[in-house]
């Protein structure tokens, strides 16, 4: 796709520092890293959202991300790893091409997740069951 920086990287028209390549996915260094060693695992086929990705490609993406997560512990000294998918604009997906972030974690690295104060208090068991019922019925 012409407007997709990941497709440009895959075609060779934009630079990237690759850490992994196979016939299904590639991984390369994020140019706006959250932490030292932050990588992206990207399917070769342009698929904007997670629901668009073939199941075997999604599984391959996570297998590679898992492997890279293990590698950064030994090679970069990370003490933890976050695997993260931003799926859709409201989930902070900046590039409309499915990808998995491999974010090495270090003590006091400054990265964190903040949780919404939407509920004020945790939801009741009844509310959780209502939500669970809606999801189960859609399966």
Please, is 66 exposed, middle or buried when counting C-beta atoms within 10 Å of its C-beta (0-12, 13-18, 19+)? middle
Which of the residues are catalytic?
Answer: 99
- The C-alpha torsion from 53 through 57 and 37 to 88, rounded to 10°, is 10
How far is Cα of residue 127 from the mean position of the Cα atoms in its chain?
29
Query: Rounded to whole angstroms, what are the CA distances from 127 to 113, 122, 123, 124, 130?
Result: 24, 10, 6, 5, 5
How far is Cα of residue 24 from the mean position of the Cα atoms in its chain?
16
Rounded to whole angstroms, the Cα distance separating 124 from 51 reads 30
């Amino acid at each position: 796709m012409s407007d997709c920086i990941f497709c440009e990287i895959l075609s060779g028209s934009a630079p990237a520092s690759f850490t992994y390549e196979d016939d299904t996915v590639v991984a390369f260094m994020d140019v706006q890293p959250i932490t030292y060693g932050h990588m992206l695992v990207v399917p070769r086929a342009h698929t904007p959202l997670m629901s668009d990705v073939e199941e075997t490609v999604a599984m391959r993406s996570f297998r590679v991300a898992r492997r890279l997560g293990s590698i950064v512990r030994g090679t970069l000294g990370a003490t933890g790893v976050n695997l993260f998918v931003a799926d859709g604009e409201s989930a902070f997906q900046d590039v409309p091409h499915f990808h998995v972030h491999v974010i090495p974690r270090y003590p006091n690295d400054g990265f964190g997740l903040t949780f919404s104060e939407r509920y004020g208090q945790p939801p009741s068991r009844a509310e959780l069951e209502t939500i669970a019922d809606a999801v189960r019925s859609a399966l």
